[in-house]
Structure 1
Amino acid sequence: MVLQYGGYEKLCRAVRELDPRVVGAWVISHGEAVAASVSEKAPVPNKDKLGKIFFQAQVMAGIPRTNEDMYGRLEFVLIRHMHLDAMLFHLDSGDEAVLAVGFQRPYPEMLLAGKVAGCIASSRAQ
């Protein structure tokens, strides 16, 4: 089932509410955020920088998918910066949407990845 844009809003809220260390969740399509849920703790760049970040996220999440024939379905891409980490999940939608989840350390990444995957699965079931 493909999520619709209204479903993206609910998904972003559900992911951001998973844990106080999740500072934001964005669904990105064609280099733009089509849905978001962001806490006051999230660093917010200016509009130009934000557009570049969204474009980069889609590229970074897309490149490893070319190897799915060898390694299986891509689960997520982890990006680690000193002050903020992010996970990128493909939503397998017709618009190539990516769910970007920003979080602060310390956090067990695999636990967070499992929780986010659960939110994605629940959103598809609705």
Structure 2
Amino acid sequence: MTERDPRELVERVYRALAGGHRAELASVLHPEFDGYFSPGLPPPIGGHHPGASACIEHGWWAIGALFAVRALPERWLACGPNELLVLGEYQGTARRTGRELHAPFAHLWAGDGDRLLSLRQYTDTALWRAALEEKPR
């Protein structure tokens, strides 16, 4: 296999997530992928998800069950040969309430040159929870 630039791999993740393409997402992640989502996100999303399958199911797919949202990258910052920091904004709506979500994010990705090994996701969890709250009558 040829070694890939981490940005190429991360761009594939964002495209796969935007299109709901689980197989494409799984192909970019190492089987022992280590995902960490901001604590304070609604269960089961927040926290540590060891393994690609757990991260997909309890992280990204759990987000998709609660929100129609996209991660929109704005800045790409190389942090070494196999690490990349992506800054951007989540934009979308909560499925149950229809309330908008606009929340900044920082994603720190690490790879091995062929697949992604880990993600550390940071976001304003209060904005996510507020989008899930019913509007007062």
TM-score of Structure 1 vs Structure 2, range by shorter chain = 0.3 to 0.5
| TM-score normalized with structure 1 length | 0.34
Query: Quick check: which one's helix share is greater?
Result: 1
| TM-score normalized with structure 2 length | 0.32
Larger-gyration structure (1/2): 2
Name the structure, 1 or 2, with higher relative contact order (CA <8 Å, separation 6+). Answer: 1
